[in-house]
Amino acid sequence: MTSSQQQAVLTIALLAAFADGAKDEREREEIRRIADSLAGESGSPQLSALYQDVLLKRVDLAKAAAALTDSAHKQLAYEMAVCVCDADGVASPAEQHFLRELRDALGLDAGEAAKVVSQADAVAAAPLAAGPTVAAASSMPDAEMDKYILNHAIANGAIELLPQSLATMAIIPLQMKLVYRIGQSYGFEMDKGHIKEFLATAGVGLTSQYVEQVGRKLLGGLLGSVAGGLGRGLGRVATGAAFSFATTYALGQLAKRYYAGGRQMNTALLQQTYQSLLGQAKQMQGQFSGQIQQKAQSLDVTQVMNMVKS
């Protein structure tokens, strides 16, 4: 994929991120930071300008779609847009309208496009826990909780090595399930709304996190289509895998401290603690790169979807 094609796909992803017009200032600022970060890592200043172009409506969806002539690239752009729209829940009516426009602009088959939407909606709508709500479990011992968090971080790092964009979308629901189960172990019952607010307060936007995941994966050459694409890329642990490992580990440890302390952290302390934990997790990632690669070799999209639903 050429740099201009990458830019077209990222433009479509950013257009999808703002399609509902309801992103709050925290999410907008986080997406701006991501655009700047990706531009710095890729050496392409044009990527940094994409954010402002999209926010100020200076880009045209039809033009971005026209830059993609390969069917696999068109499919990839549509999958990414669907997943961006569903990152913070099933697509809103405005997002659904945007996706129909994108489908038509890319010239995709309506039936195949509907399958992609259906798969993404199933992930976005997956419950936090399977079956009826159970009584809160007693708190796990610290060592057991730490192992539980580490295993989830390794799994999410491994998922990032799969080429499918739908697999990447599963990372956010799995992080939400992790937070839910940690809170439950300390006697708290929560819904998705509470967990989304907890993540947002800590500085982790759902849409922005997905945009960063797919952006790193795309620019790193590891993102392929559902049909096969660019392959698993298991020869190395990509930046995206390290990012997903670190964010999952830091969120798990943050949730452990937050709920063990009776949810007493204020916004500033939550954000400061998360950033500190994220820095520690980034330093740890190299120790577990072998386990991440090994886990990725045993995963496929079907297994990942079952993890989200279980």
Give average pLDDT by consecutive 10-residue segment, the chain, 310 residues.
80 87 70 71 65 82 92 89 87 92 96 92 83 52 92 93 81 92 89 90 82 72 41 45 90 95 92 95 91 91 86
Q: What is the rounded distance in angstroms from the CA atom of residue 112 to the CA atom of residue 185?
A: 41
CA-based nearest residue to 113, from 96, 127, 125, 129: 96
**SS3 track for 202-271:** HCCCHHHHHHHHHHHHHHCCCCCCCCCCCCCCCCCCCHHHHHHHHHHHHHHHHHHHHHHCCCCCCHHHHH
Yes or no: say if 129 and 308 are a contact pair by the CB < 8 Å rule: no
Domain 3-124 has CATH 1.10.3680: yes
**Would you kindly state where each structural domain of the chain is located, as residue ranges?**
3-124, 142-309
Would you give the end-to-end CA distance of the chain in angstroms? 36
Nearest to 13 by CA among 82, 81, 95: 81
Q: Cβ(207)–Cβ(35) under 8 Å?
A: no
Q: What pLDDT, in 10s, does the model give residues 27-59?
A: 677 777 777 776 666 665 566 677 778 877 888
Residue 145 in contact with residue 273, Cβ under 8 Å?
Answer: no
pTM: 0.81
Determine the Cα–Cα distance for residues 145 and 168; give it in Å rounded to an integer. Answer: 25
